[in-house]
Structure 1
């Protein structure tokens, strides 16, 4: 996995949002108006106090009118800022989901075979949602803080250069030093937390699939222990992040209070008049929220960047097998006894674990071949190698005289009907799930396929026949019924080559 610095992750994520620059610009302008209005209200409130003390001649009603105007601007601009930030975030997240699904499709099926499926689910769902923190609460807050700080310092400098310098130091500590320190502190915790959430998802997937076995074989206590141990570790990391956030917020408040107190003392020591010092102190005190938004990023952003890194790595990951589009298209003969599939000195291993070694096989047109062997000897792997889901270590596989690595991927798959050990179904009707193999199939073709799989009678006795709904994963049918429907789907495709992985294991 490629390791990136936090800065590189943010730059890469911003590149993904470049199409929405104008929306971001609106959010930034609105945010600047919002914070300036908020600070102006505080300054005007101090001026009311000064007015009450008889230190300035400005009309009381004029100050109140200005406060009302800034209050209105604050409300409208704050709403616009939040709306535009989240609009950009949701647009980018929509794009990211499309890109992630496209990446999984590009990397499949090898990626699905070797990956932690719980981690993939976490990436597609929770990780992408957490990246929203970056787009909605990072890009514009940083820009807003920088511009607001420049405006604040310019205004303060007019009245007192030394107070402007002290305020600049406080802004720098809160807006730069704290985020960097807490981001580094929280980075490993955030990455570990995202990994543990993926692992916990995987545990739940396994337990849900095997819930019957858990109940049957009194595995319940062990299963509960597994979940509790994983959850305990997860909670520890979450508690660590919460503790870091609490410390950060306390330090922010401390900086604001100390800065305001020091400024009052310095103002008094330098002879700054009360009619200027009080509004200036109020303004500085209420100017910190813009900077505090950046300071808080150090903790919350750690998880968002950890998610961003995982998603970016997935988007950049190279597939184990590249889809072939510049090869040849298969044109298989309709008859004859010529060699259709030839496997020559094929070897393959998963990492350091050999599965096939110098395997040879020839299958002629029209020939039925059954391969037997103990579990783990490579029967399923052999079919995946023929489908070119995985690359052979050595040796070759040829279809009708053409090495599979030279055949266009879609052409290869269109000429082979492949049924895996576990037939997968999707929510929809029986008809919908059969039409996956041949979208334009007629009802007569569907009936013929069902008949060949010896499942027609079963379907005809269902109340809605072909329009009977299958639940998620087809769990409202038995394993044998699903396997026969899977066979029917293969028969419907009517490919020249059929690869069936334990097609009768549940019959």
Structure 2
């Protein structure tokens, strides 16, 4: 059994009842499908007047003679009806057997489909649920290496492919094979010689069909990768639409997207053509087999006279009914190969190792009492160190500012404090406890984060703020908005705090979005605040509003301010000047200016006095 199929079994076993009932109904479906063809024999015999006249009701003598008993009993009933009524009544009787059998076949087909639909949709929901849980818990570092579009493609497209293809396996291993099996058993009962003759040609058909679908899995994997690339390009286009238009880059992006479309078209055509070949190929090979069967069976009927003509017609009908499930099996086996490729991509995320996790005995800490220490930190995103032997202490209630040129490692410290990444060497402690030993939920509960990019969601202002504190009242939300200097524009909005702000806050200005980000952090009310270049993307007027909001927020809190604009950190208790991941200077604003070193040069470059 394929490994990916094994991994799918635990998801399917949740719906054990539906699996069992699907199998039971499929067994009945296969049985009634065969019985429907067999029930043609008495009907044809009655029409052509070939049925035996039996006037004494036959007796059942055990399972070995069941075939003879059923034939004789049916002939007895037809003889009785013809004698007591008319020929039309006998015809209606045998036709009613066909109608009843057809009804039972189709009702069991419905119930089998009903239960497999519940199974497929349930497993789809469960896999997506599990996948989203894994996606949201994987470390930030995972997404710096993967395309977002590829992850989205696996979440949406690949899981759907698994649902559509894999659950055909139930029909592949139960319904269609049983239909074929019951048909073949019945064919053996009718004529063992003819059935054995036909069986000489079946292995040849199987070999031809399997060879055609050999490369499907590899091509399906490539097609799904291309689908991920397309979603990535679309995501990047929509996220950066202003840049695309502003730089007249529409043609470049169209060309990039169309190139991916062309690659996907070639792969999809190749996969589709092989899938499309499955059904006609299996049907053609089946017709060839039936043609041979007609030649040999005709001799048994006309020359040997060992087979009744009406029985031979029913035999041909039975042989033809094998074609439909055989076509379904060959088509489903091709689709399962595509499903295997999709499942491989889905399970590669589900099995992705989360390198940043809680220890089994993680410490839950809900207060901050003394200090934060970074001790001899070495950290690299890839090979070259971003921080080298970096050590600082941040006492409770103090504001520490980190300044320096781009790439000096300032934002990395915010990523390490929040455990978006783990240090390579050294340790970070809060009140003497290594943050790796702390429960991550409690660690992040101690911190509020305001980033350079105001990350807001397509929802109301209220719901965006409640992310930090889900149970906050409207009054608390309004208080937080006032501290963040945001209530002055929120109160004028048509629906106040219930106003939807659009995708990524697109209905608001940059300054308004940033003030809402600050309000979200204020509402959370954590003892430690991390401000990662919170004003660098704002114009001068917006910066003034935001700066007031930041100063309001930082009162009576421990604050780590990562600043590009030095005008925002002159009141900090300690300013740490960084260069290439190391501390080159530290002190208050006035002390550093007096040194006339790196900080003084940075101030002069920004024309700050």
Q: Is this a same-fold pair by TM over 0.5?
A: yes
Specify whether residues 294 and 14 from structure 1 end up closer, same or farther in structure 2 by C-alpha distance, changes over 3 A only: farther
CA contact (8 A) 1:100 1:124 kept: yes
1:265 matched to 2:260? The reply is no
Structure 2 residue aligned with 1:248? 278
Q: How does 1:458-477 map to 2 (within 5 A)?
A: 458-477=489-508
Q: CA deviation at 1:40?
A: 4.0
Corresponding residue SS for 1:372: strand
Choose the corresponding residue for 2:241, options 190, 205, 211.
Answer: 211
Q: 1:189 to 1:505 in 2, by over 3 A?
A: same
Residue number among 388, 409, 427 corresponding to 2:419 in the alignment: 388
* Structure 2 partner of 1:438: 469
Aligned-residue offset at 1:109: 3.7
Sort the Cα spacing of 1:407 and 1:294 in 2 relative to 1 into closer, same or farther, 3 A. same
Q: CA deviation at 1:319?
A: 0.2
The separation in 2 between residues aligned to 1:426 and 1:496, in whole angstroms, is: 25
Tell me: CA distance 1:380–1:45, structure 2 relative to 1, closer, same or farther (3 Å).
farther
- 91, 104, 107: which is aligned to 2:138? 107
Q: Does 1:187 align with 2:222?
A: no
- Contact 1:267-1:277 within 8 A present in 2 as well: yes
Equivalent residues of 2:165, 2:339 under 8 A apart: yes
- What is the distance in 2 between the residues matched to 1:459 and 1:25? 57
Structure 2 Cα separation of the partners of residues 228 and 333 of structure 1 = 54
> Aligned to 2:387, which of 337, 342, 356?
356
Looking at structure 1, the residues matched to 297 and 241 of structure 2 have their Cα atoms a distance apart, in angstroms, of 71
Q: What does residue range 130-209 of structure 1 map to in structure 2 within 5 Å?
A: 130-168=161-199, 177=207, 180-209=210-239
Instruction: Give the superposition deviation at 1:504.
Output: 0.9
Which residue of the other structure, out of 342, 352, 357, is the alignment partner of 1:307? 342
Residue 90 of structure 1: CA displacement? 0.9
In the superposition, relative to structure 1, how do residues 393 and 312 fare at CA in structure 2: closer, same or farther (>3 Å)?
A: same
SS at match of 1:371: strand
Structure 2: how far apart are the matches of 1:316 and 1:173?
40
TM-score (norm 1): 0.90
In 1: Cα distance, 2:529 partner to 2:46 partner: 91
Is the CA contact (8 Å cut-off) linking 2:209 and 2:282 kept in structure 1? Answer: no
In structure 2, relative to structure 1, the CA distance for the partners of 1:199 and 1:240 (3 Å cut) is: same
Could you say what secondary structure the match of 1:395 adopts? strand
Structure 1 unaligned runs (5+)? 1-5
* Root-mean-square deviation (Å): 2.5
> Counterpart of 1:254 in 2: which secondary structure?
helix
User: In the TM superposition, what whole-angstrom CA distance separates every residue of 1:293-318 from its partner, at most 9, and x where no partner exists?
Assistant: 22112322222222222222222222
Shift of 1:223: 1.0
Which residue of structure 2 aligns with residue 21 of structure 1?
Answer: 16
CA apart distance, 1:372: 2.8
TM-score when scaled to structure 2? 0.76
What is the deviation of 1:452? 2.6
487-496 or 222-231, which moves further after superposition? 487-496
Equivalent pair of 1:348/1:394 in contact (CA under 8 Å): yes
> Contact between 1:341 and 1:400, CA under 8 Å: does it hold in 2?
yes
Contact 2:368 2:446 in 1 (8 A): no
Q: 3-state DSSP class of the match of 1:484?
A: helix
Matched length: 497
CA offsets 1:306-363 (integer angstroms, 9 cap, x no match): 22222222222220211345222335455xxx5x222222222233354333333322
d(CA) in 2 for partners of 1:46, 1:217 = 77
Q: Does 1:8 align with 2:18?
A: no
Q: CA deviation at 1:464?
A: 2.1
Pick which of 355-364 and 202-211 moved more: 355-364
Q: Bigger relative contact order, structure 1 or 2, given CA contacts below 8 A and separation 6+?
A: 1
State whether residues 366 and 445 of structure 2, in contact with CA within 8 Å, keep that contact through their aligned partners in structure 1.
no
| Native 8 Å contact 2:140 2:420 kept in 1 | yes
Alpha-carbon distance in structure 1 between the residues aligned to 2:351 and 2:252: 39
Establish whether residue 289 from structure 1 lines up as the match of residue 324 from structure 2: yes
Matching of residue 124 in structure 1 with residue 124 in structure 2: no
Q: Tell me how far 1:110 sits from its aligned partner.
A: 3.8
| Greater Cα shift, 205-214 or 149-158 | 149-158
Which is further off, 151-160 or 211-220?
151-160
Map of 2:313 onto structure 1: 278
Structure 1 position 326 matched with structure 2 position 361:
yes
Deviation at 1:396, TM superposition (A): 1.7
